[in-house]
Structure formats: C-alpha cells, structure tokens
Structure 1
Amino acid sequence: MTENAELVRAQLDRIVASKTFRQAKRLCALLEFAVEETLQGRANLITAPTVALEIFSNGRDIDERSEGLVRVQARQLRMKLSSYYEGEGRNDPLRISMPQGGYAASFQKPNSIQVDKPTSDIVDCIEIGIAPFTYHGDDPHELELIATIQGYVATSLSRFANVRVIRLDQAELFSATSSAPRVPELILTGHFVREKAGAILTVDLVSKKTQGIVWSFRSRQERSHSSCDEWRRKSASQIAVNIGSQSGVVATHLLDIWAQENAAVDPVTILSMELARYRVRPTTEEHLRLREAFEKIIQNGSAKPIAWSALAYLYVEEHRFFLNPKTDNTSALKRAMTTVQVAIGREPSLAEHWAVLSMVYFELRELERAESAARKALERNPDNTDAMIVLSHYLWNSGETKEGLALTETALSLQENPPSWYNFARVHDLILNGDYEAANHENAKIEMHNWFWCLVLDATIQGHLGREPAFRAAWSKLEETAQWFIELLKSDRPGWVFPEGFVENILAGIEKGKQLSNKPSATITDVREHRAKARLK
C-alpha cells in the first residue's frame, strides 16, 4: 500500500463518518467503490453497468433502469461531496471528488497528491488490452448488452493479481504504432452474434507480436436456459479465470515472448508465470526450483506482496505432498502461515493471499478458519477458483458432500486448464460411494503420480478393483516414500477429517490389495484393532 493510498483511505473514512454522509449509505457505498477501484488502478473500468452490478443489483439482472439509478446516485454524490467540503470538510487535508463524465474518483490536495502510478519501463504484470467487442447491427439494446459484457470481463479480469487491464480503441489494434507502451502484448477481442434462440459470444486472446490466437472462448446463450445477465456474468467469469489465473497457455506464451525480446521483466512477475505453469503440471524438481527462487527474492528484500503468498503456497504443497526430505512437515506449515500473514499485512485486498491462507488453515485442520479465509477470498474475487476448491473440500469433508462437490464442479467449469489437484474432491466422492472404476479414471487425471496422497488413492482403488500388479506398484512406492503412513492410520483419528465411511473404504481397499498379493494383511488388521481399542478408550 502506498503512502498516498493510505492518505486517501483515511480521508474516505472521515467522509463516511461525517454528519453529511451519516444517513447516505448508498452514496457511501458508491464512493467507497469508486475510491477503491481507482486506488487499484482500475479507474478506466468503472462504468455504469459495473457500478450497477457491484452496488445496486442485489443479485437481480441489471437493465437500463438500474444504470439510470447509477447516474442519479452519482449526481447526488457529487452534490453531497460539494456540500461536505463547503462545510465540515473545509479544512481536510485531501479532497475526494467524482468528476463529471465518469464514475472514477479523483484526489487533490494543496500539494496536488495523485495515486502512485508505475513509471518504470520494466514489465511488472500481465497487461491485457481489451478491444471493443464487435457486433454487426445497430440495435441500441444489443450495443448496450455488448458494452455490459465487456465491462463484466474487464472488472472480473482486474480482480486478479498481476493483471492490468487497458481499454483499447479499435484503431490501435495492430497499427503501425502498435509498439507503443500502452498497447500490451495480449489483446482480447470479441464478436457478438444474435440468433433467434439466443446469442453467441466468441472471444480471442491475440498476440500483438505474432498476431496469432493464444486462447479462444465461445459461449452460446439459450434464452430458455438462463437469464441474459446470468449468462453474461458466467461468460465473463470463464474468460477472466482462464486469463487472469494465468493458465498454462497464457504463461507459456508470455514467457516465450519475453525471452525472445530479451524484455526487462520484474523477477516476481516471471516467477509468478512459471508458478502458474508449474501448477498445471507440477514436478518435484520444479517445486524445489521455484521455492528457492522465491525465497532468494524475499531474502533480498525487494519482493512484492504476491511473492510472499506464492512462497506460502509452495510451502503448503511441501507440507501436503512431503516434497522436502530435509525438513519435517510441521515446519513447512509454520513457514507457510508466517509467510502468508506477511502477504496479507502488506496487501489485504488481494484474494490470492486469502486463498492461500485458507489452504494453510485447511492443512492445520482448523476447518472453520479455512472456510472463513476462503469466503474472504471470494468476497475479494468471486472467480478465485483456489478458494472455491478449498471451500468445497471443507464442505465435503464436513459431511456436506453434495454442496462441496457442486462447488468443485463450478470451479472446474470455469477453468479449462485447472491444477490437477482440483480433481481430488471428485476422486474422494467416488471412493466414498464405491464407484472405483470411475475413481480410477478421475485419479489418473491428477498429474502427480508419485506424490503421497495420489499413491494412497491409487492403492485404495486398485485394491478394490482387484488389480494386483497395479496395487503392488502403488503400495511399494508408498512404502518407500511415506513410512509414516501406517502410523497415521493407527491413530484413532487420522490427521484428516473425512465423512463417515471414507477412511474405512481406504483401509478396505488396501487390505484387499494385500490379500491379492498373497501377503499377510496383519498390518491392516493391526490398524483396525488399534483404532477399535482407541475408540473404546
């Protein structure tokens, strides 16, 4: 947070608490939204549809009336601010206003304070240029609908860390001056077609350098299936998640372009892109490399807040999958907690930080805190799929299996190339319900084949399916990499919290596999007896 931003927020608090604004809750909400979006560098994205959606919709579809309400409220806010500064705010050190012609906030003081803006030529984030979406027609209603979709996309994208959205005029695209700093490498173009039964939206993410399509999206809206506004929101979320969460395609393209051009790129930005690529196809070696790289940057004292939560995420994975034989799991989780708390302290508005905190709490088995942190992440960015997955695991593990699985399916529906660990909830649910063939199919999608929990699930599934060679392969790897597993199962309450019957199905699958191998199953029998005795105590 910059010093100037702190001054702005302090002034905002004075205004909201003043007598002038004390009874004007709607105007305060509008002012707070305008100020925060402007401080976050999204002033050019604040449109009437965006304000209507964020402040005045109350979950209902927005239309011309709700956008008209925005204009009326903005006019009243300007008058109210003028009245405030003529009276009780006349000696305030900072003036906040909303200039005519838009809904962004403006800040002035005698020293002409302005919100800090990047001045360096170094690339410090992913810049996405959004070109006007095209529509071959002149229906005013359709033109307004397209503008609303574009506004939703811009707003949704801007909520992701390391993403900066830039509005482009059509004339700027691929022009002779397209190398100008304001035209980014990635440009989002869209085309809208109205059909009798609904509408089709096609979106392409285009490379300025190659003029090739990096990623494409197509969505059809059927009038009979959902409201128009519901479709617009869902489409915007899908577009934002697949670009803003830095899918493997986006990360790979940008890293290649930066390398070809020998571009001056902020090291944290490069590592963040490499982390995004790693999350899609993780390996132990890449985990170690990234963890050491983020640690070095932070030790040098020049890290952005997102670097701290990225490192915390890697510590969580180190704990979850036992990736560092040089240290114990408890210390990895302690480091994760300390690191993510620094990230939140430096920039509490980023959903990514809270999503990682929810993972830490989940691994600590503080499930209520994990739920709370995940919900805070979703408040800051409703499209944060990491938070959705953690919340879905909390619900599923707490016995609300249908609700948890539904949230998993929502996260998977938004992201075309999600981290493969998102599939754990599906596998768990299929094991709980005894559908081991389907569980085997889903477990194969998790591209962490030699990692601890995948081996546990694989051994369980292969044992239930009676596939002795596959069981033996999984179980032998498990015994080599996690000798502590037997001791964990011997405890009355294993480190995980699962719905009733899940751990029993795990034990039964492993026991069946042992029996298939014609090996004594005394180990599993001993576990069952130990658990039974512990419960009697």
Structure 2
Amino acid sequence: MVTPDDNTAHGSTGNAPTQADMRDALDRVLASSDFSANARRRAFLEYIVERTLAGDGPRLKGYTIAVEVFGRSEDFDPQSDSVVRLEARRLRADLDGYYANAGRTDPVRIAIPKGSYIPTFERTNIVPDQPVAPDDPAAPEPVATPESHPRPRSRLSHLLLPLAGVLFLVLAGGGIFLWQVWDRDLVGTRAEARLPAVVVRPFESAGPTESSRFMAMGMTNALIGDLMRFPGIRVYDWDSERVGRAISGAGLPAFYEVTGNVHVQDETVYVFTELHDARTARILWSESYQRPLRPEALTKVQAEAADEIATALGQTYGVIADDLRRKAAMDASAEIDSYLCVQRAFGYRRAFENTTYQPVIDCLQRTVERDPNYADAWAMLGWTYLDAGRFAFDGHQDPAPDYEAARAASERAMELDPDNTLALKSLAAVEYYTGNFDRAERLSRRAAELNPNDPDALAQLGYRLVIRGNPEEGLPLLERAMARTVNPPFWYNYAIALDRFKNGDYVAMDRIVRRYEHDDTGFGEAMSAIVAGALGQSARAREALERMDSVPAMQRGVATYFRQHGVDDETVAMVLAGLDKARKVASGEI
C-alpha cells in the first residue's frame, strides 16, 4: 500500500500505482452508483485524494477538512465538534462496502487508515473477468471480523469477572424486555403491520475471554433498546421460529438484519457491526467502533456504542430510511403502501419543494382514510398542512385554515400515541407557528428526551432555540444533529446562518449559505441576498433578490415572513436592513 509520496510524476516504484492509477481509482469510485456515500462524503474523498496527489497530504488535518469541505467556521473546535471524525468513519465504511461489491475487481483500491486522513492506494490481484455478484445467493456470506489484535491479557478478564453479577442483573432485566419484543406480533393498525422488520442477531464474542462474551451480550440488549425508540421500524431479537412466523406472512416492504461482534483487547473494546438486506444478503452499511474500557463504566461503554449504531440505522435520514425511500421511489403503484407513503413524505421534507407537495398530501390523506389509527401518517399530514400555510403553497395566502387543519391532524396523532416522537415534533411545529413558543419548546424537549438518538428531534429543538435567541443551547444541538446525520436537510443550517449574520460573521455565513441557497421556502434566498449585499457581490445579490421575490410566501411581506417563522423584532429589523443594502448593491447604488 502506497501514498503518492512513494511515487514520482514520471512513473512508479516496482508495481506501485502511479498518480494516473490513483486518479483513475478515484474516478471509478465516484462514478459508481454502488458507492453509497452522500454528496458530502464524496466531496470529502475527492478533496483528500486531490490534496494528497498535489503533495499536501501531510497537511491534511481535521481542522482544514472541517473548514474546506464541511463549511465550518474558522473558529471550529475539533474537540467539541466531531464531524470530521464521524464522517471519516462513515467514508471508510462506504469504501469497504464499495470494494466488497461493485469495486471488488478494481485494479487499485483507496483506503483511509484509521488515525489519519491521508489516503493510501494498493494494487489488487483480483481477476476482473471472474467477479462475484454481490446479490448472488450462492456467494459466501461476508464474515464480520475485527482487526487483528493480540490475545487479551488475562488480568483484564479477571478484573471484569466481578462485574459478571451486575451484568447478569442487567441482562436478566433485558430478558423481560426482550420477551416483550418477541411478543410484539404484527398486529395493530394496517400500516404498522407493514413496518419494516429489523432483526438484531446476538452480537458474537470475537475473543475467548469472558469479558468479550459479557460485552457482546450487553451490546445486543442495548442496541435493541435504542432501536425501539424509533417509531418507524419493528425490532425483533433473533428467534428463528417467532421471527420467521412474523416475517413470512406480513408482506413487509423490507426486512433487515443487524449483525456484529465484540472484541476486548487490553483496555479497549472493539465493536464491528453490519446491516444487511435480509432478502438479498447485500451489505447496506458497516461500521467499526473503538472505545477505551474502564471496568467501572462498563455499561457506559456499551451504551455509547449502541447509541451510535442505533442513530445511524434508525434516524429519519438514516441508512434504513434512505433505503426505504429508494424502494418507494421505484414503486409506481397508484395506491402506495401506507408506510412507504410516510417515507415519501420524509423525502419531501428534505427540500419542501412545491412541486412534490401535492402528491405527498394526497397520498397522506388516502392513508389516514384507509388506516385512521396510523399515528405517523396523521403526524406527517399535520406537518404537511402546516407547510401549505407557512410557505404559501398552491397560492394559500391566508395560513389560518391550514394551521387549523395541521393542529387537528397533529393532535389526532398525539391522541393515538402520546409518546410518539413524530407526533410530538409535528404538534410542536404547529404550536411554534401559531405563536405558542413555550409549549412548542416543551413538546420539542419531550421528543428529544424520549429519543436522544434522533438527530431530527435535536435539530428541531436546536433550530427554534437559536431563532428565539438562545444560541448557547441551540447551536450545540444543531451541530450534534448535523454530525450524526448522514445527509442533513438544508434547514438544519439556516438557524446557524442567521446566527452568523447577527454576529456579523459574513464569511462564515457565506460558506453555509452557498450550499443551501436555492429552495422553495424563501429563507435561503433571503440569506443569500443578505450575504451578497454585505460582501458587495452585485450580480449574486440581484439574482438572489429576484428568486426571493418570486417565492409565494414572501409576497406576504418579508417582515411578516420572518415573524411567522418565530424571528424576534430586533432580528427582523436586521434582516430588513440587510436586504435593503442588498438591493442597493444589486442596483449599483453602493
């Protein structure tokens, strides 16, 4: 395995890849639809490869990547914001998945060693005319193994053995919980009976010690508990008879398996986990975790690793939801399944496009008609009614009727399931946009408390705290949400951009706005116009103002628009002044 520093521009040493080979390897990865990385991680990969090929590899640091790739401000603190470390781990998993499937015959492979952001390149000896189809049922099932480590020292095992009694009690309590999970047969509403099944197989012990076995058992229970917090999936512990009976007759849209293993080495715990599409055996996601082990905080180590895995899999814009939305997009049936309809609504909420609003609301209305006890559909319907009012979709200039319909749908969701985080978030949004800010905050906090692993709940709360003048608490929540979301929706950034504007940090504001300045809501266009005016960019200011003025919601008046989004009068005055300057810059007055 080599880095570009091992080669010259005129050739290579031995059989080492040349720079042309390395760039070709990058192009192959980025051009493949089987490379599952989102746009942000693709940019991450391209950036570190190009910088390394240019001879700047030794200067690749987390700070530089955070600023140049992820748009963080120059006061970025890598100790408090782990975005680069998290995205690097996900990018390694993306590359592993690609090279395990479509890229298995690529002549040169790219890797990112742990503890570094400098990519390495290695030639392969795989014969390209004998590929193994990734979805071939005859192909051997991938075996998850941890990195090689020496046998754990026996003294750690002896140190952990006294904790066995405590772990037994934890696991015994978990046994009661697991029985409840097993007994959750596919009953209830029609849509709930079609929720995707997620089966968590018992994590394996990758080492011979008792400590590895205890950790593996604890990880299984902790992960099931965390996944159960997400309402959009049905979680099962592995029991072949019960799971087989539940899955076989349910007609589920998807069936997933989570597998993993745990290895305790010295004073470190290594966890490796994968998500498979159980019907095709395809690996959809994999990740490895490394945690220092302090025997007095054993359950904390389990909880932290389980939290990260559950967040990646179960969140609104996580691995499972993204896979389901891809399935929904390929379903051209007129009467789409109720569950997939909710997933399409989540997809719409990424961009709030006017053109996709009506098909989504039609689908949700049909869903609650045929399945009136489906809380998730009522919650999404409430949110979508709210959008018609706050964004003036389909010419709705008077938001009051839409807000009234939104409240009725969201309250119906709460009646059906008072602890449903989606229902709480939906009703919180209605309360916020009808001026009940205190209740909106209480509901948002309740949603975040019920599922602290849901980045969308953190983002909703953080966004509103920042907008309402509490950036000290709100900004860290937004940053946590962004760091833990595979591909954050654009609106996660708007409160941060507004905060940078209020502090006069136009350069940082510009980095954020440039990535999210085009949408149907008006907020992005307004922020783009303001920052263009502040930086004296006349053409950009003119274009942004034209787009902003064409947004239906802005036709109610800019001040009205921002006030209805909860912005205080002092900030509204600053926005109006910023837009006034943008108009002068656009017209050439200044």
- TM-score range for the pair, normalised by the shorter chain length: 0.5 to 0.7
Find the aligned partners of 1:166 and 1:201 in 2 and give their Cα distance: 21
Aligned twin of 1:446: 516
Counterpart CA distance in 2 for 1:252 and 1:487 is 36
How much has 1:518 moved relative to structure 2? Answer: 3.0
Give the CA deviation at 1:329. 2.1
Q: What is the Cα deviation at residue 382 of structure 1? A: 2.6
2:485 to 404, 408, 415: 415
In 2, Cα distance between equivalents of 1:352 and 1:270: 15
Q: Residue deviations 1:411-463, cap 9 Å, x none?
A: 22322223322222222222222222222222234375342111111111111
Aligned to 1:380: 450
SS in 1 for 2:488: coil
Quick one: distance in 1 between partners of 2:171 and 2:551?
A: 63
- Pick from 528, 542, 545: which aligns with 1:458? 528
1:125 to 183, 195, 211: 195
Q: Distance in 2 between matches of 1:119 and 1:511?
A: 56
Q: Residue 379 of structure 2 contacts residue 422 of structure 2 at CA under 8 Å; is this kept in 1?
A: yes
1:474-508: CA deviation from partner (whole Å, max 9, x where unpaired): 101112224756845389x9445447864344233
Residues 448 and 239 (structure 1), Cα distance of their counterparts in 2 relative to 1, 3 Å cut: farther
- The answer to whether residue 432 in structure 2 is matched with residue 344 in structure 1 is no
CA contact 1:322–1:452 (8 Å) conserved in 2:
no
Q: 2 CA distance for matches of 1:135 and 1:285?
A: 51
Question: Which residue of the partner structure matches residue 349 of structure 2?
Answer: 279
Give the aligned residue type for 1:155. G
User: Structure 1 residues 328 and 231 mapped into 2: Cα distance closer, same or farther (>3 Å)?
Assistant: farther
Q: Retained in 1: the 8 A contact 2:425–2:447?
A: yes
CA drift at 1:519: 5.8
- Rounded to whole Å, the distance in 2 between the matches of 1:377 and 1:458 is 32
* Aligned 8 A contact 1:134 1:190 in 2: yes
| Structure 1 pair 65–415 and aligned structure 2 pair: CA distance change class (3 A) | farther
Other-structure match for 2:501: 431
* 3-state SS in 1 of match to 2:235: strand
The equivalent residue for 1:162 is: 232
- Alignment match, 1:516: 585
C-alpha distance in structure 2 between counterparts of 1:345 and 1:355, whole Å: 14
> Is this contact kept in 2: 1:396–1:499, CA < 8 A?
no
Could you tell me how far 1:181 is from its partner in structure 2? 5.6
- 2:382 aligned residue: 312
Which structure has more relative contact order (CA 8 Å, sep 6+)? It is 2
In the superposition, the TM-score normalised over structure 1's length comes to 0.68
- Which amino acid counterpart does residue 430 of structure 1 have in structure 2? R
Listed one character per residue, the Cα deviations across residues 270-308 of structure 1 (whole Å, up to 9, x for unaligned) are 102222333345432222211111123324464512110
1:63 to 1:441, Cα distance in 2 relative to 1, 3 A: farther
2:521 is aligned with what amino acid? W
1:467 aligned partner? 537
The residue correspondences of 1:39-118 to structure 2 (distance < 5 A) are: 64=164, 66-67=166-167, 102=176, 117-118=186-187
Structure 1's unaligned 5+ residue stretches are 1-61, 75-97, 107-113, 522-537
Matches within 5 A, 1:164-203: 164-168=234-238, 180=248, 185-196=255-266, 198-203=268-273
Q: Which shows bigger deviation, 190-199 or 202-211?
A: 190-199
Letter in 2 for 1:153: L
Contact 1:358 1:387 in 2 (8 A): no
Whole-Å Cα distance in 2 between the matches of residues 356 and 324 of structure 1? 21
Shift, 1:189, TM fit: 1.4
Structure 2 vs 1, CA of residues 259 and 486 (structure 1 numbering), >3 Å: closer, same or farther? closer
**Retained in 1: the 8 A contact 2:410–2:426?**
yes
Deviations 1:66-118 (A, max 9, x none): 5566689x7xxxxxxxxxxxxxxxxxxxxxxx9xx745789xxxxxxx98752
Matched residues, number: 423
| Cross-structure match for 1:90 | none
**Are the counterparts in 2 of residues 298 and 307 from structure 1 also a CA contact under 8 Å?**
yes
AA of the residue aligned to 2:340:
I
2:444·2:457 contact (CA, 8 Å) conserved in 1?
yes
- After superposition, the CA RMSD in angstroms is 4.1
Please name the residue that 1:476 is paired with. Answer: 546
Amino acid at match of 1:402: E
Matches of 2:332 and 2:190, distance apart in 1: 13
Distance 1:270 1:153 in 2: 25
Q: Which sections of structure 2, spanning at least 5 residues, go unmatched?
A: 1-161
Contact in 2 for aligned 1:455/1:475 (Cα 8 Å): yes
Q: Deviations over 1:218-274 (max 9, x none)?
A: 3332459x9654443333233223322343653453466689899999821110222
> 4+ residue runs of structure 1 moved beyond 6 angstroms?
119-122, 170-173, 258-266
Contact conserved, 1:312 with 1:340, CA < 8 A, in 2? yes
Q: Which residue of 2 aligns with 1:356?
A: 426
Could you tell me how far 1:136 is from its partner in structure 2? Answer: 1.8
One-letter code aligned to 1:313: W
